[in-house]
Amino acid sequence: MRIALKHQILMAPAAVLLLMTLLLGFLQYTYWDLSQKRAQLQKIGTIIISLTQANMAAQRMYDLGRQHELRSSEFLIREDQVQDLLDRLEEMHAHLAMAVQRILPLMDLEEDRATELQDIVDQLNPRRGLDLPHFLANMSRLQPQLADLSTRTQQMREATQPVKSNDLDKLMDRAALVSVIVLGAAIPVGILLSLYFSRRILRRVQRLSDTAGNIVRGDLTPPAAPEVVRDELDDLTLSIYRMTEQLIRVVGTEKLLEGAEEERRRIAMDIHDQTLSDLSSILRGLQFLQKQELCRDQAELLEDELKSTITDLRHLMDNLHPQTLEILGLGAALQSHLERYASKGETPEYHLYVAPEVDVLGLSRQTKLALYRIAVEAIHNVVKHARASRYEVNLDVREDQVVLSVEDNGIGFDIRQVAHGGGRGLNNIRERARTIGGQVSWGASRFSTGTRFELILPMSNPGRNSA
């Protein structure tokens, strides 16, 4: 399965980023593990200190309670001594309660064990009254609780490995080694992936470039069209394939038109060199017969018919290949054609404007002939179909474009016919415009009714100055 072009380009940096992400994840995990160990050791240290404080406070409270018991039995205790004892017991109880409060959140004790320990500490509070037997009994209950906490703390300490300086050195060495390995692997992997995908892309681009160069040099062999478009280069290949096919059709149409024009030119020359020459000889013979009395009337009649035939042949020659176009230029050829139309009578009034710059642009013979044929076809459509009383023909230069327009005030026609192909005349106009790189359009006339035909030919068209 071919990877999309944008994914191939991103593959190398993505692989490097992935390896770097894994490295960062490893370093983060290492730091987190070290932090966890340090936090656990700190927690155990806090428990040990608090437990030591609790044991000392409990032991001191027990000793004070025993002393009070002995003095009470000998009736040697005074009232001020009792108050001093209570004060000292309260101080020790505060230390005990504070130590237990720090221990309970740090140790995972069963709820009933924690409740029992808290209850014992509360009952040992001297402010609740000093009942010596009850006090000593609670102290006896407290000692096993503290001993059990000491045992659990020792187990926690044994289960947690201490973080030593050597361990930290090893950890740092391992992190540095892994970092070097990952970085050392990421750079070659990124380079190899970049070379692999870039060479694949460049080979395909080079093939397309060679194909495009061959097309420019005239070898219209299209690249093989991909069956399935998988990436952007496949899309470009398909576009070049379609462009080449379209170019083949355009070139074929152009060569066909060139061949037709050349054939028209040959026929016109044959008519001029042979047929007109023969008819001119016949005309001279008729003119000689006019001098004879017996044949004068018939000769004059035949002379008129022959002159009309010669005139028609000259018009036919001009239609086949207009000599005026090659001799006097595009504007004169259009003027001559319009005058011939007007001489037939019953034709619409016309107005012709040809910009002076048109004949000095250096348009190729093929371009001028195509513009002439397109204008003649558009004029023919107006005269034959538009039912117009007036039409205008303009050939102008606007910035970097040659603009040909034919506009009438006739009945118009459905512009949608153009989108659906139209008649032969419209197709001829489109094909001739395509061969010279022009764009044609039909729209509403600036008159109240009628149609406007327009052809726009970019002057930057590389073929316009070709010989």
Ordered per-residue pLDDT tens for the chain, 467 residues: 456 666 666 667 777 777 777 777 777 777 777 777 778 888 888 888 988 998 898 888 888 877 777 666 655 556 666 677 788 888 888 888 898 888 888 888 888 888 888 888 888 888 877 777 888 888 888 888 888 888 888 888 777 766 555 666 676 777 777 777 877 777 777 778 777 777 777 787 788 788 777 777 777 677 777 777 767 777 778 787 777 777 766 666 656 556 666 666 666 565 555 565 656 666 666 666 666 655 666 666 666 666 666 666 656 655 665 666 777 788 888 888 888 777 766 788 999 999 988 888 888 888 888 898 899 889 988 988 888 999 999 999 988 899 999 999 999 887 776 655 566 778 888 888 888 889 999 999 988 899 999 999 998 654 444 43
The residues, any chain, with a CB within 8 Å of residue 127's CB and separated by 6 or more, are 90
Strand-pair partners of 458: 401
Strand-pair partners of 456: 403, 439
CA-nearest of 462, 463, 440, 464 to 452 is: 440
Task: Kindly report the number of other CB atoms within 10 A of residue 103's CB atom.
Answer: 23
This model's pTM is above 0.85: no
What is the SS3 assignment for 173? helix
Residue with tokens 């060199």: 273
What is the SS3 assignment for 347? coil
The residues, any chain, with a CB within 8 Å of residue 193's CB and separated by 6 or more, are 11, 12, 15
Please give the C-alpha separations between residue 326 and each of 261, 365, 368, in angstroms, as whole numbers. 13, 8, 9
Determine the Cα–Cα distance for residues 59 and 124; give it in Å rounded to an integer: 13
Strand-pair partners of 390: 349
Please give the C-alpha separations between residue 264 and each of 200, 268, 270, in angstroms, as whole numbers. 53, 6, 10
Determine the Cα–Cα distance for residues 55 and 147; give it in Å rounded to an integer: 9
229-240: b (≥16 Cβ within 10 Å) or e = eebebbebbeeb
* pLDDT given for residue 464 in this prediction: 44
Q: Report the run of H or E that residue 186 belongs to, with start and end.
A: helix 165-216
Determine the Cα–Cα distance for residues 190 and 182; give it in Å rounded to an integer: 12
| Sign, Cα dihedral of 397, 398, 404, 405 | negative
SS (H, E, C) 247-306: HHHHHHHHHHHHHHHHHHHHHHHHHHHHHHHHHHHHHHHHHHHCCCCCCHHHHHHHHHHH
Determine the Cα–Cα distance for residues 310 and 147; give it in Å rounded to an integer: 139
Task: Kindly report the number of other CB atoms within 10 A of residue 35's CB atom.
Answer: 10
Determine the Cα–Cα distance for residues 405 and 441; give it in Å rounded to an integer: 10
The residue type found at 59 is Q
Q: How many helical (H) and strand (E) elements, i.e. helices and strands, does the chain have?
A: 13, 5
List phi, psi (to 5°) of 124.
-80, 0
Q: Which long-range contacts link 349-354 to residues 24+ away (Cβ below 8 Å)?
A: 349/389, 349/390, 349/391, 350/390, 350/391, 350/392, 350/393, 351/390, 351/391, 351/392, 351/393, 352/392, 352/393, 352/394, 353/392, 353/393, 353/394, 353/395, 353/396, 354/330, 354/394, 354/395
What are the strands of the beta sheet with 401-408, ordered from one edge?
349-354, 390-398, 401-408, 451-458, 439-444
Contact 146, 58 (CB under 8 A): yes
CA-nearest of 385, 392, 375 to 446 is: 392
Contact 93, 125 (CB under 8 A): yes
* pLDDT given for residue 26 in this prediction: 75
List phi, psi (to 5°) of 77.
-90, 140
The burial class, CB within 10 Å (0-12 / 13-18 / 19+), for 262 is: exposed
Please give the C-alpha separations between residue 204 and each of 222, 223, 236, in angstroms, as whole numbers. 15, 11, 11
User: DSSP letter string over 44-100?
Assistant: HHHHHHHHHHHHHHHHHHHHHHHHHHHHHHTT---HHHHHHHHHHHHHHHHHHHHHH
- Angle 379-368-308 from CA coordinates, rounded to 5°: 55
* pLDDT given for residue 395 in this prediction: 93
The burial class, CB within 10 Å (0-12 / 13-18 / 19+), for 429 is: buried
